[in-house]
Structure 1
């Protein structure tokens, strides 16, 4: 494709956010151009959500074989074919890829250009041999792994989420630098697939989650045999054979850990370099594009979505952004971002899901709160599945408005949906406590936690006196 194109909308980046904007706009009648220099589907399909969850599924299958004895079924150490696991991961990506493919989007009426995009003015972009002039632009270029400034790191080979899924042989010792969701998920998965794994985190693992719920995940990692080292100070990294040696400093001196493979999972940075944003009058920081609540940049013709604007770096956040942008661009509605009820899930076993305020966050904003808990050890479905670790934890105002919910337990990601709705709609706890929950389900634990809000008053001396009085009536 060469020459000049005029369009209603030009989307730069074919990841989750960009694809959602392009598909929606084209199907609603907008003349749409989509520019992507790399793989269609972006990080989520190729290096993120899809391959990581496929790897976790394989790891959990191996774990189930090891622990089948609790159900009266002969347990054994599974024979893990790491190459076969790799083919499974690749197969899942390939099965989903057609949904995000160039052919599908061209079938929707989107003009797809596979080239690097650069702004040449406030309303023009050049991509390869094509110049695109559009009424509106959406930057959806995503993010990439950020390497920490550790001395010696640049002198050794290391993996990131963009390369770790290409392994076809199991690491003998995987050292994971970073204890956030990506690092912790991949650490547990590789351990369950038979690798020796060490996690090095300079502070505490999963720092954005409720510490009480994180403790459940930490215990599971330890039970699996993951060596979790928090408050770990890395002073340097050196080549060691085909791998690397990590030097740690502690109160007792220095320690040298040898790894066959290093995985760096210490955060992400937006992919914005090389777009020549200054030629379009678009400002940015190291965290991402500078946008307002409507996701408009400093050039009102240009919007940003997903990881490119920083903040919550989730696929579902990018999809949410896409809806905001479509309402603004196509329907001229002043839709604004509201992340109050933005849920997130760490897909460990047990999973950890959170929405709204944590207990600590609620105490900072509200003078008085109620904290409600219900353990899965008292949930009959969890008992039948011999999977009782964890709890549901709810935070409310004294009058019962739900401020936040956290779940550490089996299928927490599936259970958080109800609480996302509750937080987003500012519901009161009585709505959940009065709900009829099917038995036996894991979600019943949430209803029981909600019902616990009324326990102090329901079983008080005052209630007993009232009941005795009423029972005397004819």
Structure 2
């Protein structure tokens, strides 16, 4: 009896290197660029587009789309300055071209060509662990002293009946649209859902947001209230405490069965966007082969971002913590210190800012008020100043918003929330104050240019001393000293 010949085994080319990075997003590219320029040999695996989610499907295209929407909104509201403009005409195909042009302008910085010129060996293929110190992919077998997993995350798809058979968009596909959605349904009222709701509404789409809990539920409630009011004012329909029970339909005609307060209602739209959270991209890595433990949210790491395999680090979204591009970049710097210089560097996550780029923007760093009171109790002081009390905000008719500072009684800043114009820019100094333990008095005594929005923070900081400076005791001291001439 004739038997089949054994399958031919594909020979893999062996590469030995100092650092092997899996994932060419912001974190992985930062590790690769930093390490190779410091003299280490580096191999980088990327199975998709260089630049990862942030460049191609996330931060960059969403902010470009928001900018187009804000331009339309500015034209509509110009009358408040005495400037009358006609209703803007939206050419959505040109908006799409604008978004793609912004991506294309940044892409060369993250390209295979640039990294190969730096000296990085780029393998455009998926990678998986063969054992505790070997990765394979693209016909190569890579043995490295240290590995860095920087595979990012993707949209989490909720277990909604019928959703898998219903056409839906995620952040990876919505920026491919060249025609404006007539009515965009969005599952999820987090930062991504709110940003894309505002952008599409400003560009002329009807928009409905369905959120199972509260809009921007992880943010300061007072600040979230302002974003909620803004979205409602521009015409976004908001359904909070609403569960999507079933999805159905086809291209151009989507229907959702939504339960709110025990009542079912049918909501129809032309397009559906799923923005209900993120999940770490770990599929296909064969982490078990390398002895790498995972958690519900991602790869288990210690304070130095090392996994249960001492040769392997995980950074950014893959590490299961805060899912921001700047966190991945910060993680990269921690890993470089640990992996190349053997320094005992730990990731300090106490001063990581986050921003929702609606208009007004919502920015946060450090502890929220509720978190601070739980942790520090009566030691907490809350300082607040409004945009309405700022001359620059009045001149630009941008008086919606406030700054809220969370300060201990000894003057240590432990949290800041800003909601209003340019909040994402203004939050940076408060991250510095928290990270470097700069006391509130130093900020209160600083000199800022007039008129600027930065005065809002200085005024809030100064209010820390109001009770002491303008107290009956202080007036007695001043009168006493005046008696001496």
The match for 2:227 is 217
CA offset at residue 253 of structure 1? 2.9
Residue 449 in 1 paired to residue 441 in 2? no
Gaps of 5+ in 2: 1-10
CA offset at residue 247 of structure 1? 1.2
Gaps of 5+ in 1: none
**Does the residue aligned with 2:257 lie in a helix, a strand or coil?**
strand
- Which of these residues, 163, 168, 184, is aligned with residue 173 of structure 2? 163
Contact 2:152 2:281 in 1 (8 A): yes
- Which of these residues, 275, 296, 299, is aligned with residue 309 of structure 2? 299
2:211 and 2:392 map into 1 onto residues whose CA distance is: 35
1:252 and 1:319 map into 2 onto residues whose CA distance is: 44
Residue 99 in 1 paired to residue 109 in 2? yes
1:240 and 1:7 map into 2 onto residues whose CA distance is: 49
After TM superposition, the structure 1 stretch with the greater mean CA deviation from structure 2, 98-107 or 71-80, is: 71-80
Residue 440 in 1 paired to residue 451 in 2? yes
CA offset at residue 303 of structure 1? 0.7
The match for 2:273 is 263
CA offset at residue 399 of structure 1? 2.1
**Counterparts in 2 of 1:314-333, with a 5 A limit?**
314-333=324-343
**Counterparts in 2 of 1:410-425, with a 5 A limit?**
410-425=421-436
**Counterparts in 2 of 1:33-44, with a 5 A limit?**
33-44=43-54
- Which of these residues, 398, 407, 412, is aligned with residue 387 of structure 1? 398
The match for 1:60 is 70
Residue 248 in 1 paired to residue 254 in 2? no
CA offset at residue 426 of structure 1? 1.8
Residue 463 in 1 paired to residue 480 in 2? no
1:334 and 1:232 map into 2 onto residues whose CA distance is: 46
Contact 1:118 1:127 in 2 (8 A): yes
2:359 and 2:459 map into 1 onto residues whose CA distance is: 22
Number of equivalent positions = 474
**Does the residue aligned with 2:377 lie in a helix, a strand or coil?**
coil
Instruction: Say if 1:44 and 1:251 are closer, same or farther in 2 by CA, change over 3 A.
Output: closer
After TM superposition, the structure 1 stretch with the greater mean CA deviation from structure 2, 143-152 or 464-473, is: 464-473
**Does the residue aligned with 1:430 lie in a helix, a strand or coil?**
helix
The match for 2:3 is none
Deviation readout 1:301-328 (Å, 9 max, x if unpaired)? 1111110011100000000000010000
2:261 and 2:24 map into 1 onto residues whose CA distance is: 48
Runs of 4 or more above 6 Å deviation: none
The match for 2:381 is 370
Deviation readout 1:163-184 (Å, 9 max, x if unpaired)? 0000101111001100110010
1:118 and 1:240 map into 2 onto residues whose CA distance is: 36
The match for 1:398 is 409
**Does the residue aligned with 1:34 lie in a helix, a strand or coil?**
strand
Contact 1:115 1:127 in 2 (8 A): yes
CA offset at residue 2 of structure 1? 6.1
**Counterparts in 2 of 1:324-343, with a 5 A limit?**
324-343=334-353
What's the TM-score, normalizing by structure 2? 0.96
Residue 354 in 1 paired to residue 364 in 2? yes
Question: What RMSD, in angstroms, separates the aligned Cα atoms of the two structures?
Answer: 1.2
**Counterparts in 2 of 1:142-161, with a 5 A limit?**
142-161=152-171
Contact 2:337 2:343 in 1 (8 A): yes
